[in-house]
Structure 1
Amino acid sequence: MNITQEKINDLNAVVKIKISPEDYTEKVDKSIREQAKKSNLPGFRKGMVPVAHIKKMFGRNILVEEINTLLSETLSKHLADNKVEVLGQPLPIMDDTKEYKWDGTDEFEFDYEIGLAPAVEVKITAKDKFTQYVVKADAETLASRIKNIRRSYGKMTNPEVSAEDDVLYADLAQLSADGSVFEGGITSTGSIRLDQVTDKKILKTLVGLKKDDVVELDVQKAFDNNEVIIAKLLNIPEEEAKEVKSKFQVTVKNVNRLEESDLNQEFFDKLFGEGVVTDEAGFTAKITEEIEGMFKQDADRKLQNDIYTKLTESVKMELPDEFLRKWLKATNEKLTDAELAEGYDDFAKNLKWTLIENKLIKDNSIEIKYEDVFQTAKQRLDAQFRMYSPSPMPEDQLAQYTATFLKEKDNANRIFDEVKAIKVFEYIKSVATIEDKEIAYNKFIEMK
């Protein structure tokens, strides 16, 4: 067997593999003998099928399979032994001029094109500056959160006249173009949450309504074409909700209002435990701490995105773009040319980040241990289970679930990539200059 690599340029190469009969004959004969021992064919006792018969019936298929296996193993070993860093996977070069008999006497030659990973230089120093935003709760955001919490623990009342935050329990009937009720059209009984109505003019028509009042409602305009809300209100599939164009007659059956809970000790104890909070100031401080903790996650993601953007733009590297486009098409049969053109830049940017990550890990001896992957997976599973049950899962059971979860290759790879990213960002933040800057939440979201 002979294998050679011809460099086309710094980013592309061709690997040529020549295989002679002595490279594959023994393997093919062995596979034929093993097939004969296992075969159960009409006219023969099981395991007693003559080797010559198996060779005549299946010899060509066995030969093709052994050649493919030999090619795969040879190519992988060549790349590993020569430390060739490739992007994507090698692609076979089709050559219609080569014809083989596939009878065990052929001298085969197969060529593969490969995309080579570019040389990458990444150096992070204190001169690299990033901003860590410390997001503070602005008055509007804090007031909205407090209001929602108080309403969650409040009581339901039925006022005579509707206000902006009320819920109208009503009958809805689809209207024809002339304004009459459409016979056989969509009808439902549901709750119209006025806090979900985005059109201010329509909201005004729904405020001040009483039981038995009748109004017209353009559901698409009222809810800003939100098919999820519309589907739930009309009790129809979301796909159907997208296509609804007509208005609806709304007949109010009741007005529901969720009154806010009083700021008393009973309320504080329900929220935080007995005696933890004793007054409104303490309550406000606790809620502020809670929402600013949630903001920190957003701020951390913003910092990571800023680092990602700066490095992918500042670290210069060329990619074998033509090869990568060909590889993407070859490995994604349903990928259209339009989809490839639209998505390639994002793919290339993510690939550049992967190369930057790998370079930082290699140059700075960043370790990713199984224990890190296990603990991260366990945290993710614990958070997921807590969404359905407030009481934590026993530690030994959670550990067992985690071990089972990581046996799935896709799960393990996903968590590994997450840990890898965390480790790299931690390293960058430890070397670069990170400047804290306070910002109100309403200003912060304008930056996102």
Structure 2
Amino acid sequence: MSNLDITLNVISDKEAQLTVKVPVGQIQGKVESRIRSLAKTAKIDGFRKGKVPVSHIRAQYGAGIQQEVINDVIRDTVFEALSEKKVRAVGVPNIDDVKLENEFLVYQATVETFPEVQVQGLSEIEVERQVASVSDEDVDTMIENLQKQRQTFEVKEGEVVDGDQVLFDFEGSIDGEKFEGGAATDYTLVIGSGQMIPGFEDGIKGMKAGEEKTIKVTFPEDYQAENLAGKEADFKINVKEVKEAKLPELNEEFFELFGVTEGGLDKLKVDVRKNMEREIKNATRNQVKQAAFDALLEKNEFDVPKAMLEQEIDRQRQQMLQRFAQQFGGNANFGADMLPNELFEDQALRSVRLGVLVSQIIEKNNLTVDQDRVTAFIKEAAENYEDPNEVIEYYTNDKQQRAGVEAVVLEDQVVDYLLEQGKVTDKEVKYQDLLAASQKAQSQF
């Protein structure tokens, strides 16, 4: 049993205050112990080491040592007090009103608390679940895309058409004046890729190697360079070389790139279809998860503790900085000060509210992780790797990695619960549309 005297005052549904009394004997004993310890090691003029009188140490350092002990005792007892009163604290407690009175050290600890939310409107939740199937045409399109990823370009005679790779010089001007970033030499562009502003690539179509002409284009109104936005520009184009795309043949060499050594094109189609069906399964899971969570949030709006919001903002900021570092390298000059809180507030608020609601659903319904689903999840993910057994063993034996999978599975179980409580309608969509919806959903988590 704790020897603390603790009084709990619930200020609101998201803030609590504890008044904690610690027997002063705990303070005095530790102060005396530190004073005696210091007396044995202190180097003070006029005294030999280890011969400094305890009374001298007490007189010179006693007040400072007592304050150190008080700080340590508060640090050691505040979380004990929170635990004893079953206060689910968010962030670091704010300590004030510290005083020694009679036989006790007394202090107050004010904390933000995890919101106690009554989840509302589950039976009113409506979710549209997008479903898709893989057609023969989808498989053929995917194989063509695999070819395009490995296409080469060969010099051609004749006019530029969509899909051609063009080597050219260009020089831009507005009202006869050149502008920064408006010129390049030996620029390479695949026509139809959409890399340039609207009208630029269309202006090159029909030209041949060795030709030169001036095209007129208008910068979009929302162009990132404000001095160019909405303005009409002239670009002098000099085409130096035109190449046409050559897709690799569907032969044994191509099939082997995807692990197909027997069965040829038919086996590749079977493998591609299997991968696409796996993508559909994952995409549907992501899309319906977002739809269910969006519906849940729509029915439940509430304030969240400031500390929780700040922690989530900081987490998202650090994630973005890590992505910048990966994308641009360690030399990229990105600092946290370049990413203000306002950039993350909306998404952070959504994440915190959702976390609270999911936690409440898990607690109120005694949901626990379905280990069979965890095993199935790991096995399915492992199928994408060359050695599935190695991946399965890794996730099975690494507690941290398995815990990550368990968190995902438990979240899926919450989604299943929401779908059981609400109304679900299926909508048939195209394969590509479902993948797009899934990617959008993933950006929300």
TM-score (norm 2): 0.66
Matches within 5 A, 1:18-417: 18-19=21-22, 21-34=24-37, 60=63, 62-92=65-95, 108-122=105-119, 130-136=127-133, 145-160=142-157, 161-171=159-169, 178=176, 187-197=184-194, 199-214=197-212, 221=219, 250-263=237-250, 267-268=254-255, 270-271=257-258, 273-278=260-265, 287-315=272-300, 318-319=302-303, 321=304, 324-325=305-306, 346-368=347-369, 391-392=386-387, 395=390, 399=394, 403=398, 406=400, 417=407
Is 2:424 aligned against 1:424?
no
Structure 2 CA distance for partners of 1:86 and 1:432, relative to 1, 3 Å: same
CA distance in 1, matches of 2:143, 2:136: 11
Retained in 2: the 8 A contact 1:3–1:16?
yes
CA deviation map 1:405-426 (0-9, x unaligned): 94xxxx8986665454244335
CA deviation map 1:314-347 (0-9, x unaligned): 357x54x5xx2377579999999x9667865654
SS of equivalent residue, structure 1 residue 157? strand
Retained in 1: the 8 A contact 2:90–2:308?
no
CA distance in 2, matches of 1:275, 1:49: 88
Offset, 1:80: 1.5
Offset, 1:303: 0.7
Retained in 2: the 8 A contact 1:138–1:440?
no
Match of 2:329 in 1: none
Retained in 2: the 8 A contact 1:269–1:277?
no
Match of 2:11 in 1: 8
The one-letter amino acid paired with 1:350 is S
The one-letter amino acid paired with 2:20 is I
Higher fraction of strand: 2
Structure 2 CA distance for partners of 1:256 and 1:441, relative to 1, 3 Å: same
Structure 2 CA distance for partners of 1:340 and 1:153, relative to 1, 3 Å: closer
SS of equivalent residue, structure 1 residue 74? helix
Offset, 1:165: 0.9
CA distance in 2, matches of 1:40, 1:138: 85
Aligned residues between the structures:
406
TM-score (norm 1): 0.65
Structure 2 CA distance for partners of 1:29 and 1:434, relative to 1, 3 Å: farther
CA distance in 2, matches of 1:40, 1:402: 54
Retained in 2: the 8 A contact 1:124–1:428?
no
CA distance in 2, matches of 1:309, 1:45: 73
The one-letter amino acid paired with 1:193 is V
Match of 2:331 in 1: none
CA distance in 2, matches of 1:180, 1:343: 39
Offset, 1:292: 4.2
Match of 2:333 in 1: none
The one-letter amino acid paired with 2:80 is K
The one-letter amino acid paired with 1:203 is E
CA distance in 1, matches of 2:343, 2:33: 49
Retained in 1: the 8 A contact 2:370–2:409?
no
Retained in 2: the 8 A contact 1:151–1:260?
yes
Question: What's the C-alpha RMSD, in Å, of the aligned pairs?
Answer: 5.5
Match of 1:233 in 2: none
Give the unaligned 5+ runs of structure 2. Answer: 318-335, 441-445
SS of equivalent residue, structure 1 residue 165? coil
Retained in 2: the 8 A contact 1:378–1:398?
no
CA deviation map 1:371-412 (0-9, x unaligned): 9999989998x79xx8xxx75498399739974x94xxxx89
Offset, 1:110: 2.8
Match of 2:429 in 1: 439
The one-letter amino acid paired with 2:355 is T
Identity over aligned pairs, percent: 19
CA deviation map 1:101-126 (0-9, x unaligned): x9x99975432333344444459989
Offset, 1:203: 1.8
Give the unaligned 5+ runs of structure 1. Answer: 228-241
